[in-house]
Amino acid sequence: MESIFHEKQEGSLCAQHCLNNLLQGEYFSPVELSSIAHQLDEEERMRMAEGGVTSEDYRTFLQQPSGNMDDSGFFSIQVISNALKVWGLELILFNSPEYQRLRIDPINERSFICNYKEHWFTVRKLGKQWFNLNSLLTGPELISDTYLALFLAQLQQEGYSIFVVKGDLPDCEADQLLQMIRVQQMQRPKLIGEELAQLKEQRVQKTDLERVLEANDGSGMLDEDEEDLQRALALSRQEIDMEDEEADLRRAIQLSMQGTSRNISQDIPQTSGTHLTSEELRKRREAYFEKQQQQQQQDPPGPLTHPCEKPTTSSEALSSELGDAMSEEDMLQAAVTMSLETVRNNFKTEGKK
């Protein structure tokens, strides 16, 4: 598509763009078209003067502005038609009865000029493909052969006047190149106004983003990072506190167990809800030893202990006897109470030292 000549809209010079896009080159300028318009105005004045320079119609004609051009850059169909006569080209109205009787398929033509109100643009065949060369587009628009007739019909429904360009167009590079290759268009061009509006919106969004970033100076992101860091530190402190509590509890249990092993042979202060006096403990020990003697008399003689077994101590025997006399819950309560009492006694002893 780079080889296709395509003038984009500037002011109201669409007639100039239409002619140059049709001829595929910078053939006409506003000055040249203005000259043609002035020539047409003079020819019309001379015709009106034939009826008398003092007539009312002539004076009215002189007071009216030119119908072939205006200060905005608009040029009439007469200016365009006269400009094309220089190249031996002629314009025929597409929907005129004379042309419709010819029953010519649009794809067999070479080019069309379309007009709606004050806008002109060209539809031309280059090589073997049709292109919409509207100056309001950002680039040439590819039109398929099957879509061409529908495209022209749609323009007529929208109020466009369509003219068929008859004659041999000047040679151009794009036509020669596209005779050998066919092009594909992945994305259709946009209207210039749409593209400018999109670019303006993108610039506004970029400016707003830069303004927000500059105002915050990155503080918003830093605040989020700082909050995440504070949460992580808080969780870490909680874990450390839990580990410290667990360590203290393990040390207390270890001290309690050490104290219990050293004083296990001492009297037990209390059981579950019942205080044992030294007399009661003495009676239970005597009952235990009597039971042991009776069992030894009944058992056959032999070694009392297995070589790999430890001999039963009096404290272990006492624990076994107490286990028989008390339930598991009572034994647990007694053990805890005894451990706490042992720790307290150890603290008192160290305090006296």
Q: What is the CATH number of the domain that holds 134?
A: 3.90.70.40
Listed in sequence order, the residues at least 6 apart from 296 whose beta carbon sits closer than 8 Å to its beta carbon are none
Residues 101-110 have a mean pLDDT of 93
Note the pTM of the prediction, 2 decimals: 0.56
Q: Is the pLDDT of residue 60 over 80?
A: yes
Q: Which tops the pLDDT comparison, 300 or 3?
A: 3
Task: Judge whether residue 112 has pLDDT over 60.
Answer: yes
Summarised one tens digit per residue, pLDDT across range 246-290 is: 665 566 556 555 554 444 444 444 444 445 566 666 677 677 667
3-class secondary structure, 208: helix
Please check whether residue 124 lies inside any domain of the structure.
yes
How confident is the model at residue 49, as a pLDDT?
A: 86
160 is written with which tokens? 């466009």
Is residue 91, in this structure, part of any structural domain at all? yes
Give the pLDDT of residue 312.
46
Query: Rounded mean pLDDT of the chain?
Result: 77
Rounded Cα distance between 216 and 222, Å, is 10
Q: Distance from CA of residue 245 to its chain's centroid?
A: 49
Mean pLDDT, range 102-116, rounded to an integer = 94
- Sign of torsion over alpha carbons 243, 244, 245, 246: positive
Burial of 333 from C-beta contacts in 10 A (0-12 / 13-18 / 19+): middle
Average pLDDT of the residues in 20-25: 97
- Pairwise CA distance, residues 263 & 267, whole Å: 9
Q: Is residue 152 part of a domain?
A: yes
Residue 350, pLDDT score: 58
66 domain residue, yes or no: yes
Does 20 map to a domain? yes
Say which range, 93-97, 253-257, 332-336, has the weakest mean pLDDT: 253-257
Best mean pLDDT range from 49-63, 130-144, 284-298, 336-350: 130-144
> How confident is the model over 178-190, as pLDDT tens digits?
999 999 999 989 9
Q: CB–CB of 37/69 below 8 Å?
A: yes
If one counts the domains in the chain, the total is: 1
pLDDT category at 329 given cuts 50, 70, 90 is low
Furthest CA-CA distance within the chain: 168
Which residues are designated catalytic? Answer: 14, 119, 134
Q: What is the pLDDT of residue 240?
A: 60
Q: Is residue 52 part of a domain?
A: yes
* Sheet (strand 129-132) strand order: 90-93, 161-166, 111-116, 119-126, 129-132, 141-143
| Position 62 in a domain | yes
Instruction: Provide, rounded to the nearest whole percent, the portion of the chain with pLDDT above 70.
Output: 59
The answer to whether residue 292 is domain-embedded is: no
pLDDT band, very low/low/confident/very high, at 319 (cuts 50, 70, 90): very low
Question: What residue numbers bound the domain in which 152 lies?
Answer: 12-193
Whether the Cβ atoms of residue 86 and residue 100 lie closer than 8 Å to each other: no
Segment 161-184, tens digit of pLDDT: 999 999 999 999 999 999 999 999
Percentage of the residues of the chain whose pLDDT score is greater than 90: 41
> What are the tens digits of pLDDT across the range 197-224?
666 666 666 666 666 666 666 554 546 6
